[in-house]
Amino acid sequence: MLRRTDQDPQTPEAPATDEPIVYRDGAPVVTEDRAERDVVEERPVAPAERRVVVESSSEFGGLFVPRLLLTLAGAAAMIVGAFGTWSATLAGTELTNRALVRTTFTTSTFLTSVGAIAIALGLAAVVGLAFRSGWLTRLAGVLGIVSFVLFAIELFRVPGPFPTAAIGWGAWVFLAGSVVALIGGFLTTRTPQVVATDA
């Protein structure tokens, strides 16, 4: 075995090993292999799994199909009633909207008529189907009922005896449609809620 010239002849030879020999000040230094000393156990880690249970219960025992049918039926009745007779021989599309706040039962254009309001409320009830809570459908039904009550009050305020046939069939159909739409607006579904979670 070859010996370095700068080594002390009395220095014992290092034992044979596969590791590299490190010399410091002419003498071999014992080193440790970190690869064998520091052993890290690696385990495959599965991605965290989480299962969420979502519950969506209905309010007042309602379902979407009954809500759809009632809302469409109510809106159709409200729109049909707008073209029917409201006062004497005047249709809702001909009667001025002032008849809701005054004892003025005269003709008017379509846009300023009671019928235009009734049609707008009927369409609003249908648009309310797009909302889970059904608030717009209920609002349209309530406003329809209020409109009929205001119209009936103004008829009662007219001097003289109140005739039994003062309110035309169109107004009654509009009232019935408003009530049906209001009921349909309550058949809604609650917002989904988390009832169970697996971490």
Over the stretch 103-135, which tens digit does the pLDDT of each residue have? Answer: 888 888 999 999 999 999 999 999 999 988 889
In a domain, 182, yes or no: yes
- Domain-embedded: residue 128: yes
Both tokens of 159, joined, read 């001097």
Among the listed residues 138, 118, 117, 116, the one whose alpha carbon sits nearest the alpha carbon of residue 127: 138
> Is residue 29 assigned to a domain?
no
- Per-chain mean pLDDT for the chain: 77
Question: What's the whole-number mean pLDDT along residues 6-30?
Answer: 56
> How many domains does the chain divide into?
1
Burial of 101 (0-12, 13-18, 19+ CB in 10 A): exposed
Share of the chain above pLDDT 70, in %: 61
Q: Which long-range contacts (CB under 8 A, 24 or more apart) does 171-174 make?
A: 171/81, 171/84, 171/85, 171/86, 171/87, 171/92, 172/81, 173/77, 173/78, 173/80, 173/81, 173/84, 174/77, 174/78, 174/81, 174/82, 174/84, 174/92, 174/118, 174/144, 174/147, 174/148
pLDDT tens figures, 58-84: 555 447 889 999 999 999 999 999 999
> Does a structural domain hold residue 120?
yes
For residue range 139-157, what is the model confidence (pLDDT) as tens digits? 999 999 999 999 999 888 8
- Residue 89 sits in which domain range? 53-193
User: Does a structural domain hold residue 170?
Assistant: yes
pTM above 0.75, yes or no: no
